[in-house]
A and B are shown apart, each in its own frame.
Chain A
Amino acid sequence: MSDYPEFEHDVLVIGAGGAGLRAAIEAAAQGVRVGLVCKSLLGKAHTVMAEGGMAAAMGNVDDRDGWRTHFADTMRGGQYLNSWRMAELHAKESPERARELESWGALFDRTPEGRILQRNFGGHKYPRLAHVGDRTGLEMIRTLQDHGIHQGIDVHMEVTVTRLLKDGDRCVGAFGYDREQGRFRVFKAKAVVLSTGGLGRAYLVTSNSWEGTGDGHSLAYHAGAELRDMEFIQFHPTGMIWPPSVRGILVTEGVRGEGGILKNNKGDRFMFRDIPPLYVEQTADTPEEGWRYVTGDREARRPPELLTRDHVARKIVKEVQEGRGSPHGGAFLDIAWIKERIKDSEAHIKKKLPSMYHQFKELAGIDITKEPMEVGPTTHYAMGGVAVDPDTQMSTTVPGLFAAGEVAGGLHGANRLGGNSLSDLVVFGKRAGEHAAKFARDNPQYAISEPEIEAAAGEALAPLERGVSQVGPFQLQFELQTMMQDQVGIARDEGLLTKALDGIRRIRDAVSEVGAGGNRWYNPGWHTALDMKHLLTVSEAIALSARERKESRGAHSRLDHPDKDAKWSTFNMIVRKGPEGGMVIERRDIPPLPQELADIIEEEG
């Protein structure tokens, strides 16, 4: 027996964002013992930062909406690389999950009839996002947290998992340390749910917090799981760009949903040019029609600012490259202009977008009710993730390991629609919790391997034992982020990607020598040194998958293969750990779409 404190649960949930909390609540409701681990304090996960809303086809604002349209929108947004089964389940179940939040205390903004209000967002045909001003994520996480604390879940806050434990192929727990004192902990479990969120920290300019280091992607990969669609990284078109200290911080798409428009330095509304063929039919011809759309005219079509994120981001980059960018290399996002259209626009903007108002006022000295914002793309979301069974969320290769939320792949395909993440979290969080509980009940026997625990402990202690090194952990992290930004970013090509893969190998060598000063108590240098393994793993997966996909589709755009190519539309990229220990890549055929769903896509256009 190791000397480390052991915690035994039937289901261990790693990650306490929306997905993890929902999974833990569901597993507890099934009557099993549940442990929940997270790196930050409870309620601080990424989910808290989500702004715009949660997509659910309730049809409260436009009764033409329904799961079929939501399904078709999600598939079109994902350029048909999505797991169609996940897209179907998601569209069908999200309304129920939204209403359930209300029964647990959430208070969404309301329609005049007293129902949940829904707003427009990019790629959604009808107003579909349930929201609370621009702080929807806070509402969701707080609701789940406040409900969850009464369900008998054991919460381990500020604990970082560094390795999953295996019994043969099966996942049976996790090893980690508490951030406070650096003490190791062993978690034993009959089933494990990963809900660790994203990996934006692999890039320099990102909307993600320090937590987004791709831990779950990497933990799963090293435990034998397959990762899919890793080439698809969403660069959100509107991040703050000035002053430098705020670079990357998100400006919600809700600004455009409320009527915000994009302009270049010539005052030209450039989004009206180059509308992608898939969307021409659905896009407004004139600014007038666009305005009618955002103010609820059912006959109008959406303004081009509300096209999918990949397209908007590329268009901004193009304006900048062609010399029409804003002073700090972005575009102007203007919501103040609506004063030409409505009375009391200042109060309206402050009511609809309170945290954007606050954020620009405090951090950039800009009053968005009076002047335009400067925005540019920021690394935002990982469409790719652990390959799972669409119904149960169990890993395709590791029994007992489940994944939900941003760490799981499939729902979003090549590009995620805004608002489809918050709904993803609760739909698949619930499913993962339910099936993990069932798996735990059906598979009570398992064994923990002592040598594996010792190996995990040795690996975790190594940087501290090496002590202060010539090149420190923060420098290496910065080097990797800079490289990913420049070479594996919005515009990619074969040469850059190959260079990046070499760079990743070089940094990996350097990491094996990096050390951290200080002791085990709350030591960010040490923690950063340990995070590097995960950052490198996900970076390699992204670069390798991106090099393999020789076309441009959704969020993945190749300068050397600028067009979409039908022959690449039939498979997903899968990476996994090969028998020699290196990363291997495979093209996996997408299962055939059932006729019923194909018809829906056809009908919905």
Chain B
Amino acid sequence: MKSATFKVWRGDREAGDFQTYEVELEPGYVVLDAIHKIQAEQANDLACRWNCKAGKCGSCSAEINGSPRLMCMTRVEDVAGNGPITVEPMRTFPVIKDLVTDVSWNYEVKASIQKMTPREPDFEDGSWKMHQYDVERPQEFRKCIECFLCQNVCHVLRDHQMHGEFAGPRHFVFAAQAEMNPIDLTDRIPQLREELGIGYCNITKCCTKVCPESITITDNAIIPLKERVVDRSYDPLTKLVRRIFGRSDKG
């Protein structure tokens, strides 16, 4: 493959449209390389975000031929079919310019999630005894690079626009890692139910499918959290035990 045709969405909050660019390819080109080449040679003001170019920072999220992906981890040869390759911004978030969207809402939601309260240290040097098997589960969630692709595809946000009531899969993953942190005492279960709207998730697993870090968002993070929410709400005995002995479902 020597060259490829790209249709890149160009525009701002008011209006926009696809523009067509012909790009000469080098071996191994990823979509982000093509966008950079367009930027350097044909459209200096083409806006996109990127940092690491290695799938580690989660900056370069976009919709490529309609599927949400990281531009830096998408090989051109893997998405080139017969027609042009389309590149457009994530559609769930307001556009700022071209491929850059306003994702600030995600930062606000995260800041609203209850912070950590570490328990007393185990060792004299102020550290804790934790085994690999204690940290393995939350470590999966801590791989999240905050690309927000899962937020972008979740229908509760994308179609129903329930941004006020629903934190979205990224933040359930975040809450899950905090809830499963072996030394943290904060209890986020009531907040998950009442403010973060975990009940609105109907387990479609679309989020899991797009996660570039292969985090099993639905099965490993959301479902266990939902179970805790349910246990807590419908099981008066656990509630009572909790009131008397403190937390029992942590870890």
On A, residues with C-beta under 8 Å from B are 40-46, 48-49, 95-96, 99, 102-105, 107-110, 113-116, 132, 135, 138-139, 142, 146-147, 149-150, 157, 180, 209-211, 242-246, 249-250, 355, 358-359, 362-364, 468, 472-475, 478, 516-519, 521-526, 528
Contacts and interface: CB of A to CB of B under 8 A. Distances in A.
B94 to A, nearest CB: 11
Given A105-B116, A107-B130, A48 B55 contact: no
Which residue among A44, A107, A358 has the maximum number of chain B CB atoms within 10 Å of its CB? A107
A49 B146 contact: no
Given A115-B129, A355-B56, A522 B100 contact: yes
Nearest to A249: B54
B58 interface: yes
Nearest to B39: A524
Chain B contact residues: over half helix, strand or loop, or mixed? Answer: loop
Interface string B89-120: 00000001110100110010011000110100
B30 A363 contact: yes
Contacts of A132: 139, 142
Interface in B110-165: 110-111, 115-116, 118, 121, 125-132, 134-135, 138-139, 142-146
A201 to B, nearest CB: 12
A245 B45 contact: no
A150 B115 CA distance: 7
A110 B127 contact: no
Interface stretch (B21-29, B191-199, B219-227, B235-243): B21-29
Nearest to B122: A114
A582 B178 CA distance: 53
B44 A209 contact: no
A49 B129 contact: no
A363 B73 CA distance: 7
Nearest to B34: A245
A358 B59 CA distance: 18
12 contacts: A42-B107, A105-B178, A107-B130, A149-B111, A243-B28, A246-B28, A363-B54, A517-B45, A518-B44, A521-B96, A523-B45, A525-B45
Contacts of B145: 48, 138
B40 to A, nearest CB: 4
Contacts of A242: 27-28
Nearest to A116: B127
Contacts of A107: 130, 135, 138-139, 142, 181
A144 to B, nearest CB: 13
A71 B29 CA distance: 43
B10 to A, nearest CB: 11
A40 B49 contact: yes
A138 B143 contact: yes
Q: Which 6 residue pairs spanning A and B have beta carbons closest together?
A: A243-B28, A525-B44, A518-B45, A114-B129, A522-B47, A474-B40
B182 to A, nearest CB: 8
B187 interface: no
Which residue among A142, A157, A474, A524 has the maximum number of chain B CB atoms within 10 Å of its CB? A524
Contacts of B111: 149-150
A45 B115 CA distance: 22
B80 interface: no
A474 B52 contact: no
A48 B183 CA distance: 24
A199 to B, nearest CB: 15
Nearest to A60: B127
Given A242-B28, A521-B96, A522-B45, 14 more contacts: A49-B56, A99-B127, A107-B130, A109-B135, A146-B115, A180-B100, A243-B27, A244-B27, A355-B54, A359-B55, A474-B40, A519-B45, A525-B45, A528-B44
Contacts of B39: 474, 524-525
A43 B107 CA distance: 10
A353 to B, nearest CB: 13
Contacts of A104: 116
Contacts, number: 177
Interface size band for B: 35 or more
Contact of B28 (A209, A244, A516, A528): A244
A110 B130 contact: yes
Contacts of A363: 28, 30, 54, 73, 75
Contacts of A358: 55
B50 A209 contact: yes
B51 interface: yes
B57 to A, nearest CB: 5
Contact of B126 (A103, A468, A478): A103
B12 interface: yes
A44 B57 contact: yes
B181 A105 contact: yes
B53 A209 contact: yes
B54 A359 contact: yes
B63 interface: no
A387 B243 CA distance: 57
Contacts of A48: 51-52, 56-57, 145
Nearest to B46: A524
B30 to A, nearest CB: 6
Nearest to B52: A49
A116 B126 CA distance: 12
Nearest to A48: B57
A245 B26 contact: yes
Contacts of A113: 129
Contacts of A521: 12, 47, 96-97
Contacts of A95: 125
Interface in B208-248: none
A355 B135 CA distance: 19
B73 A362 contact: yes
A245 B31 CA distance: 10
Contacts of B75: 362-363
Contact of A110 (B41, B98, B121, B132): B132
